[in-house]
Chain A
Amino acid sequence: LAKTTQPISMDSYEGQEVNITCSHNNIATNDYITWYQQFPSQGPRFIIQGYKTKVTNEVASLFIPADRKSSTLSLPRVSLSDTAVYYCLVEGGSARQLTFGSGTQLTVLP
């Protein structure tokens, strides 16, 4: 079972870069690492996905070391609207194991 571990909460200020790390020691060979964002009273929303090294899109970057046992979501220059819960998802080789961890509550302060 590919369990993920993330910090429970993080605080940041507007304009700063935020890095959220997820540990997934039992990641399977064919697993991708996917990050989601969730606002209150909404469903999770896909942010970024990667398999190895670095992936960048218009909202975030994802860094994955060679051993793939962790990953880091990087949010450049956060704003108040980035306050949300962030989940990393690693499936662990079976759809039955699609369980999101408790996520990281990011609070962006003015």
Chain B
Amino acid sequence: NAGVTQTPKFQVLKTGQSMTLQCAQDMNHNSMYWYRQDPGMGLRLIYYSASEGTTDKGEVPNGYNVSRLNKREFSLRLESAAPSQTSVYFCASSEIRATNQPQHFGDGTRLSIL
């Protein structure tokens, strides 16, 4: 039972390069999320998708774009990577977008930007 799968697990980029982080869930969930986690800190929401066909900004959306490709997949794109975007990126999903719906997380993508 895979749950939430993120690819790649690790990536090193040079400043200015672009990259897309992939996320897929097999739980038939409607809502999906992208977070970033900096060392010693909690997770901050970048973007979320309440349902297929919709996306909304979270707390820290600048420098990122997202695409909800279908119900299963939600990708995060860095158009021009900056060292400040070095972080661990987590994708999550929930059955619906509601305060009482627990989120299920992938194991993260560790991204370093030189």
Q: Which residues of A contact B (CB under 8 A)?
A: 30-32, 34, 41-46, 49, 51, 87, 91, 95-103
Contacts and interface: CB of A to CB of B under 8 A. Distances in A.
Interface residues of B, number: 27
Nearest to A30: B99
B76 interface: no
B100 A96 contact: no
Contacts of A87: 42-43
B45 interface: yes
B85 interface: no
A46 B57 contact: no
Given A49-B100, A95-B56, 9 more contacts: A31-B99, A34-B102, A44-B43, A46-B102, A95-B97, A96-B45, A97-B45, A98-B33, A99-B59
Question: Closest 5 A-B residue pairs measured CB to CB?
Answer: A43-B105, A100-B42, A46-B102, A100-B43, A32-B100
A61 B98 CA distance: 22
Interface of B: 4, 33, 35, 40-45, 48, 50, 56-59, 90, 92, 97, 99-100, 102-108
A43 B102 contact: no
Contact of A99 (B42, B103, B105): B42
Given A34-B102, A99-B59, A42 B108 contact: yes
11 contacts: A43-B90, A43-B107, A44-B43, A46-B104, A91-B99, A96-B57, A96-B58, A98-B48, A99-B42, A100-B35, A102-B42
Nearest to A4: B42
